[in-house]
Amino acid sequence: MNTYHFITHWRVEATCEEVYRILEDVEALPRWWPSVYLEVKQLEKGRPGGVGKVVSLFTKGWLPYTLRWQFNVTETHFPTGFSLDAVGDFAGTGVWTFKQADEQHCEITYDWRINAEKPLLKMLSFLLRPVFSANHLWAMRKGEESLLLELRRRRAETDAELAAIPEPPGPTFPHNLYYKPENQTKSQSATGV
């Protein structure tokens, strides 16, 4: 009963390479997707191309619980996607796939097959499965919204364009009480560096 399978589809105005580069930069996740990623640390770089990269994450969704987990990149297919194995409060696999739909749009699919191993989730999945599933769907909606903003930030050519882009949606209660958008978000160069 603690097994979940989610498939998320996004369509964004971008190239596959742009999307790949944003998502592979794991330590930037708390800056541009702060509603979900509270803390991210790359533990191991992995081989050239990213296979073997190990990342530690502290995450949350709309509900007021947090998750600690790690992922290991198991496959990379630049620029069309990558796969990972997760351990910790989540255990399972995730596969990001990017397809260029036309010259302007990238179709993104995330296939997430996990077991909820956090005791709260594991024990209550039989009862609260729809609530936990809705929490995941909320997190992915915030991810799409945040990705669109990050693409705009990276493409901004002037300080005025950069200043006109709103901050990404922040975390929900109780983490929103101490969340402060980083000043660097607005003051970054147009290349996002």
Whether the CB-CB separation of 135 and 28 falls below 8 Å is answered with: no
pLDDT at 173 over 90: no
Reported as a single tens digit per residue, the pLDDT across 55-89 is 999 999 999 899 999 999 999 999 999 999 999 99
Which of 166, 167, 159 is closest to 190 using CA atoms? 159
| β-bridge mates for residue 77, sequence order | 81
Whether the CB-CB separation of 34 and 171 falls below 8 Å is answered with: yes
Instruction: In whole angstroms, give the CA distance from residue 11 to residue 18.
Output: 13
Instruction: In whole angstroms, give the CA distance from residue 191 to residue 105.
Output: 20
Our CA angle for 17, 22, 23, nearest 5°, is 100
Q: For the chain, which residues make up each domain, given as ranges?
A: 3-187
CATH of region 3-187: 3.30.530.20
Whether the CB-CB separation of 151 and 165 falls below 8 Å is answered with: no
Please report, for residues 10, 19, 106, 142, the alpha-carbon distance to residue 98 in angstroms, rounded to integers and kept in the order given: 10, 8, 6, 18
Reported as a single tens digit per residue, the pLDDT across 110-146 is 999 999 999 989 999 999 999 999 999 999 999 999 9
pLDDT at position 185, please? Answer: 41
- Three-state DSSP at 61 gives coil
